[in-house]
A and B are shown apart, each in its own frame.
Chain A
Amino acid sequence: MPKSKLGIIGSGRLGTAIARQSSKAGYEVRIANSRGPESLGLMLSVLLPGVIAGTVGGVIEQSDIIVLAIPLNQYKTLKPELFAAKVVIDAMNYWPPTEGAIKEFMNEEVTSSEYIQHYLKGAHVVKTLNHIAYNELEEHNLPAGDPKRRAMVLAGDDKEAKTVVSELIDAIGFDPVDLGELKNGKKFQPDTSLFNARYVANDL
Chain B
Amino acid sequence: MIQNLADGILTGSVISLGAIGLTLIMHVLRFANFSYAELLGIGAYAALVFDRLLSALAPALAAAFRPLTLTGSLALATVLAMALTGASAVAIDRMVFRRIRARADPLSMVFASFGVALIVRNLITLAFGHRAQLYSNDIAFAEVVSRDPMLLIKPGQVFVLVAAVVLMLALHLILTRTTFGFALRAVAENPTLAQVAGVRLAAMVTAIWLIGGALSAAAGVFYALTNHLSPALGHNFVLPLFAATIAGGIGSVYGAVAGGFPVGIASGLSLMILPSGYTPAMPFLIILAVLLVRPHGLFGEARA
Do A and B come from the same complex? no
